Amino acid sequence: MAKLYFRYGAMNSGKSTALLQAAYNYEERGQLIVLAKPRIDTKGDQTIVSRLGVTRPVDFTVDLDDDIYTRFQAHRAAAIRDTSRDVSCLLVDEAQFLSTQQVDDLLRIAVREDVPVLAYGIRTDFQTVAFPGSRRLLEIAHSLEELKTICRCGRKAVFNGRSVDGRFVFDGDQVAIDGVDVTYESLCAACYLDESGDTLATGRRSAVPLDAGLELGPDPDFS
């Protein structure tokens, strides 16, 4: 049985570079792969773009309501028809932008289709709140691997700061990719708290009562 892998890290931790390296490793050994990414990631459009300048087109992109299982099966069938070889791996970039259902389908692809799935993405947004796709991957992936990078102070970076016109901001939409004046910086916990005035999640997640027990409902952020 194949497995679902989630390789995550802060911004600039080399996620896309690692994905492209994994793709190269498979193909160097004569294996067929399928590359995919969410369409919401406008960076590179139909292309995976690494910080080192290495690029590669994907086989398909998905919207939030697309059936990623069916899309993969179609590409797999075409590969077998055209090359008489099966697909050895599905690699997904920017997996944080997938829906919960799409992540569940990645697990089904790995288990039911016996094809390893390597998903790469960011764990949390600029307010330290998990993306829906990342949250589900952390819950169900067979294997979790953190890709590390460093903060400007030299410590390990774990959070992502959003800067607009050169100033850090902690309010706004969760997704804002490559805006004209929007940049991101990987920060350690200490530097993030310094910049945010000790604020985490900006009130998006209220404290849970200690006696809440099993009566907890779904997280309103992602329901």
Q: How far apart are CA 120 and CA 118, in angstroms?
A: 7
Whether 195 is catalytic: no
145 neighbors 9 (Cβ within 8 angstroms)? no
Q: Across-strand partners of 184?
A: 162
Strands 87-92 and 32-38: parallel
Half-sphere exposure (Cβ direction) of 185: Cα atoms closer than 13 Å: 17
| Residue of 27, 28, 94, 185 marked active site | 94
Residue 184 is assigned to a ligand binding site:
yes
Q: How far apart are CA 13 and CA 27, in angstroms?
A: 23
H helices of the chain, in order, are 15-28, 68-83, 100-112, 132-140, 189-196
* C-alpha torsion angle, residues 48, 50, 53, 55 (rounded to 10): -20
What's the one-letter identity of residue 161?
G
4 phi and psi, to 5 degrees? -100, 125
Binding residues for substrate, by number, are 184
Active site residues: 94
Binding site listing: 184
